[in-house]
């Protein structure tokens, strides 16, 4: 099985390494060192060798940071990880602080002293993040200093795992839908239009998409670690560890793509004197920008040219996602059937639920990996948005409670992400009413029609309005982009209160996941993935309108639905969705599950 429940037990990670880091800091004349979660590629999920924050602190979440000073230290996480960080990190070594409210800049402004030198590794920070840190440190009379090698890596030393060397393999055109040469030519023209001659690409998802390749260097995401220089004429240099280059890769890449070693990257950047080079300040680490500027290149700060085209899936990718979700829906329906039968008699604990669900996905024979660590929250744990069960936190569901399960799979033809909230035993009236409010918001967002130029932030309130009307809300975003056999979190679009300037466009896949969380008691979330449809006329209208088509196919627990709270339109919409679930998923499952599906997908009375 791929799932691991408690990495801190299995790996030599944790707060006891802080003294070793301080020794290395002292040897380099540093008064502090900043430890981001991100690695050299600004990854969300990391290979073990690059999981510096986890090694230093024990915290294994996908977002956070730490600052280690001479005699004190702090770790910063957001509200998703409030419970996990206390389970994994010793508060006697690291003060636990909020990542969003102030974060490392506020801490450095408060704790730094005049004359201090705070070290950072320029390969681990984007220029945007570094600018905020520099302003904070200078405000305290201290200074930031780039260091190489950084003291954490020095302290880790020989115990540090080797860099991953998973084979880099072609991602066939049957899944990609457009060959790399066409993508490179198209993006090359965009570069020329932006006045750039070369683009530096360091995000593994960008490289995987552009060259139609996949790898296995990053946990939960089929990414190859590497870098690339894309030129305006469509040619490129791809920097990969030679040990990862499979025999058929050079022919797959073609004559317009030169393969080089990562050791050749610095000289290649230094050779760009006088060249106009595009670099994304949010995705490309400061080291690249500084190296280019020292070489005399003219750095143009702009968006990674692959980001938007990668987000707008082509017809082949959309059809692949449909297949992946149909397959995944059958696995999830088997799991939900198990919860509705055996799980009601002998309620499972969280780890049992996680293991069972992965077994159903694994039985498809097509699962490559999970798309993220499964979130299974029973009782009050369901109210923690990104709760991750461990052996120490594992909780058994009880009659009269809710079990929230957020999970997904990686398949060659698509990436899935789905949340279902299930009643164990008889739910309370309050649970059902609030579940129905969440459902109403979910339905509103799935049926909306909107004109070109509409951003996700303009639609966010639709999912919240039923909750707002009852004086309720949730603190996370409503929707994030999802890749095509790539990352489960993908920009540049999103649906959230926070303003977003990127309009929704046809082919974009986005989640629809409103929720409600009652601290200490239960959590509710309903999540489907859906894609933006092509503009189409509405009878009597003047402008063509886009909309959403659901990809996720799995029943919604009708025991939690207060039917009288739904309008006729909402009932019709829910019935149509369940009819589609039965039509697509029913033929894939065994008779007992199909009979159950017929019952739970029947029209709402």
pLDDT at 443: 98
Contact yes or no for 323/174 (Cβ under 8 A)? no
Residue 101 pLDDT: 85
The top-level CATH class assigned to 7-159 is alpha beta
Query: CA torsion sign, 17 to 21 to 26 to 31?
Result: negative
Quote the mean pLDDT of the chain.
Answer: 95
Contact 31, 118 (CB under 8 A): yes
Q: Mean pLDDT across the stretch 211-222?
A: 95
Q: Please check whether residue 198 is in contact with residue 233, taking contact to mean a CB–CB distance below 8 angstroms.
A: no
Q: What is the pLDDT of residue 10?
A: 44
Span between the terminal Cα atoms of the chain, in Å: 41
Query: Residue 442 has what pLDDT?
Result: 98
Which single residue is written with the structure tokens 């201290």? 142
CATH topology of domain 169-307: Creatine Amidinohydrolase; Chain A, domain 1 (3.40.350)
Using CB atoms within 10 A of its CB, is residue 318 exposed (0-12), middle (13-18) or buried (19+)?
Answer: buried
In this predicted structure, the answer to whether residue 260 has a pLDDT above a threshold of 70 is yes
Question: Is the bond preceding residue 435 a cis peptide, omega within 30 degrees?
Answer: no
Coil, strand or helix at 427: coil
pLDDT, tens digit (0-9, with 9 covering 90-100), for 267-276: 999 999 999 9
Q: Is the whole model's pTM more than 0.85, yes or no?
A: yes
* Strand-by-strand arrangement of the 198-201 sheet: 257-260, 236-239, 227-231, 198-201, 276-279, 298-301
Cα 292 from Cα 303, distance rounded (Å): 17
pLDDT at 7 over 70: no
Distance CA 107, CA 75 (A): 10
Task: Give residues with Cβ within 8 angstroms of 28, minimum separation 6.
Answer: 119, 147, 151
Identify the pLDDT of residue 412.
Answer: 98
Q: Computed over its alpha carbons, how large is the radius of gyration of the chain?
A: 25
Residue intervals of the chain classified under CATH 3.40.350.10 are 7-159, 169-307
Model pLDDT for residues 406-415, shown as the tens digit of each residue: 999 999 999 9
**Helices 204-211 & 180-193 angle (0-180, nearest 10):** 120
Residue (of 179, 161, 163) closest to 171 by Cα position: 179
20-34 confidence digits (pLDDT tens)? 999 999 999 999 999
Question: Chain centroid to CA 533: how far?
Answer: 23
Calculate helix-pair angle for 568-585, 315-340, nearest 10 degrees.
Answer: 90
Are 475 and 79 a contacting pair, CB within 8 Å?
Answer: yes
- Please, what CATH class does the domain formed by 312-594 belong to? alpha beta
List, in sequence order, every residue forming a beta bridge with 245; answer none if it has no partner. Answer: 168
In angstroms, the CA 292 to CA 299 distance is 7
Residue 101 burial (10 A CB sphere; 0-12, 13-18, 19+): exposed
3-state secondary structure of 397: coil
| Cβ-count burial 53-82 (b if 16+ within 10 Å, e if not) | bbbbbbbbbbbbbbbbbeeebbbbbbebbe
Helix (H, G, I), strand (E, B) or coil at 456: helix
- 178-200 average pLDDT score: 97
Distance, in Å, from the CA atom of 473 to the CA atom of 466, rounded to the nearest integer, reads 9
pLDDT tens digits along 143-178:
999 999 999 999 999 999 999 999 999 999 999 999
Do the beta carbons of residue 445 and residue 459 sit within 8 Å?
Answer: yes
Q: Tell me what the mean pLDDT of segment 230-258 comes to.
A: 97
* Residue pLDDT, tens place only, 49-76: 999 999 999 998 889 999 999 999 999 9
Whether the per-residue pLDDT at 103 is higher than 80: the answer is: yes
Q: How many CB atoms lie within 10 A of CB 248?
A: 10
Instruction: Name the segment(s) of the chain with CATH classification 3.90.230.10.
Output: 312-594
């Amino acid at each position: 099985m791929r799932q691991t429940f408690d990495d801190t037990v299995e790996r030599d990670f944790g707060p006891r390494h802080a003294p070793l880091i301080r020794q290395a800091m002292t040897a380099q004349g540093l008064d502090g060192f900043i430890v981001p979660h991100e690695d050299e590629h600004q990854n969300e999920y990391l290979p073990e060798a690059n999981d510096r924050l986890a090694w230093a602190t024990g915290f294994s979440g996908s977002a956070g940071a730490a600052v280690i000073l001479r005699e004190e230290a702090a770790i910063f996480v957001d509200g998703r990880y409030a419970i996990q960080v206390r389970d994994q990190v010793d508060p006697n070594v690291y003060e636990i602080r909020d990542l969003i409210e102030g974060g490392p800049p506020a801490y450095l402004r408060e704790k730094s002293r005049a004359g201090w030198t705070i070290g950072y590794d320029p390969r681990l920070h984007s220029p945007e993040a570094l600018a905020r840190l520099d302003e904070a440190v200078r405000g305290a009379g201290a200074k930031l200093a780039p260091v190489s090698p950084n003291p954490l890596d020095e302290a880790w030393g020989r115990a540090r795992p080797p860099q991953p060397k998973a084979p880099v393999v072609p991602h066939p055109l049957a899944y990609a839908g457009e060959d790399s040469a066409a993508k490179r030519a198209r993006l090359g023209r965009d570069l020329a239009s932006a006045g750039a001659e070369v683009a530096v690409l360091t995000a593994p998802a960008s490289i995987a998409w552009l060259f139609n390749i996949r790898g296995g260097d990053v946990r939960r995401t089929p990414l190859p670690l590497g870098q690339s220089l894309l030129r305006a004429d469509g040619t490129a240099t791809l920097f990969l560890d030679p040990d990862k280059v499979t025999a058929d890769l050079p022919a797959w890449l073609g004559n317009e793509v030169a393969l080089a070693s990562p050791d050749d990257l610095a000289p290649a950047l230094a050779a760009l004197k006088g060249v106009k080079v595009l670099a994304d300040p949010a995705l490309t680490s400061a080291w690249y920008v500084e190296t280019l500027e020292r070489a005399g290149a003219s750095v143009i700060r702009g968006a990674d040219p692959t980001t938007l085209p990668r987000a707008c899936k082509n017809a082949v990718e959309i059809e692949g996602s449909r297949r992946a979700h149909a397959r995944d829906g059958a696995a999830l329906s088997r799991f939900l059937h198990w919860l509705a039968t055996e799980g009601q008699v002998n309620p499972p604990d969280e780890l049992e639920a996680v293991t069972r669900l992965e077994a159903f996905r694994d039985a498809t024979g097509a699962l490559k990996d999970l798309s993220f660590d499964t979130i299974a929250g029973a009782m009050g744990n369901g109210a923690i948005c990104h709760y991750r069960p461990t052996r120490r936190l594992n909780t058994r569901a009880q009659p009269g409670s809710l079990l929230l399960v957020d999970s997904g799979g990686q398949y060659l033809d698509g990436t899935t992400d789905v949340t279902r909230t299930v009643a164990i035993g008889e739910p309370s009236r309050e649970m059902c009413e609030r579940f129905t409010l969440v459902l109403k918001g979910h339905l509103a967002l799935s049926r909306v029609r909107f004109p070109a130029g509409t951003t996700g932030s303009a639609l966010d309130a639709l999912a919240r309005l039923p909750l707002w009307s009852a004086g309720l809300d949730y603190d996370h975003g409503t929707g994030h982009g999802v890749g095509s056999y790539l990352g489960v979190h993908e920009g540049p679009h999103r649906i959230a209160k926070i303003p977003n300037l990127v309009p929704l466009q046809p082919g974009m896949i986005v989640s629809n996941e409103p929720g409600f969380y009652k601290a200490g008691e239960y959590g509710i979330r309903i999540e489907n993935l859906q894609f933006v449809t092509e503009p189409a006329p509405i009878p009597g209208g003047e402008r063509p309108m886009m909309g959403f088509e659901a990809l996720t196919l799995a029943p919604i627990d009708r025991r939690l639905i207060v039917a009288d709270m739904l309008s006729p339109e909402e009932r019709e919409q829910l019935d149509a969705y369940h009819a589609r679930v039965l039509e697509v998923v029913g033929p894939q499952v065994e008779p007992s599950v199909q009979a159950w599906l017929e019952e739970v997908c029947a029209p709402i009375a």
